[in-house]
Amino acid sequence: GDSVTQMEGPVTLSEEAFLTINCTYTATGYPSLFWYVQYPGEGLQLLLKATKADDKGSNKGFEATYRKETTSFHLEKGSVQVSDSAVYFCALSDRDNAGKSTFGDGTTLTVKP
């Protein structure tokens, strides 16, 4: 079945540091890939997405590239801010699996001033 493996957390960075959160996947079909962010006590918000190989999703300074050859979708940001502190989930939706979303375990990011 489909699965998503995320870099274990928690991750603690200083403000303006470079962020990378690794994500790899396995899927039987041709999935779309997503990064979601969850702030404390809130629901999930879509951060960015990519629907086919070599697509780059980007939003709010975050970006991730769909790498089919390495089955990866690593999240990066050049300079993090305190307000980026949250839990980040990598996910895939596989249209061959009725569009269900499969999530990674989440990575908690804490950015210190």
Partner 1 sequence: GAVVSQHPSRVICKSGTSVKIECRSLDFQATTMFWYRQFPKQSLMLMATSNEGSKATYEQGVEKDKFLINHASLTLSTLTVTSAHPEDSSFYICSAREFGGLYGYTFGSGTRLTVV
Residues in the site for partner 1, rule: CB under 8 A?
32, 34, 36, 41-46, 49, 51, 89, 93-95, 98-106, 108
Closest CA to 72 of 56, 88, 60: 56
- Of 80, 75, 72, the C-alpha closest to 106 is 75
How far is 45 from 25, CA to CA, in rounded Å? 20
Residue number with CB closer to partner 1 (45 or 81):
45
Between 63 and 102, CB nearer to partner 1: 102
User: In the bound complex, what is the minimum distance in angstroms from residue 18's beta carbon to partner 1?
Assistant: 25
Gap between the terminal Cα atoms of the chain: 41
> How far apart are CB 106 and partner 1 at their closest, in Å?
5
- Given the complex with partner 1, which of 17 and 59 has the nearer CB atom? 59
To partner 1, the closest distance from the beta carbon of 83 in angstroms equals: 19
Residue 68 makes CB contacts below 8 A (sequence gap 6+) with: 53, 54
| Phi-psi region at 71: left, alpha or beta (left = phi > 0; alpha = psi -120 to 50) | left
Shortest Å, Cβ 55 to partner 1: 12
Q: Which is nearer to partner 1, 17 or 58 (CB)?
A: 58
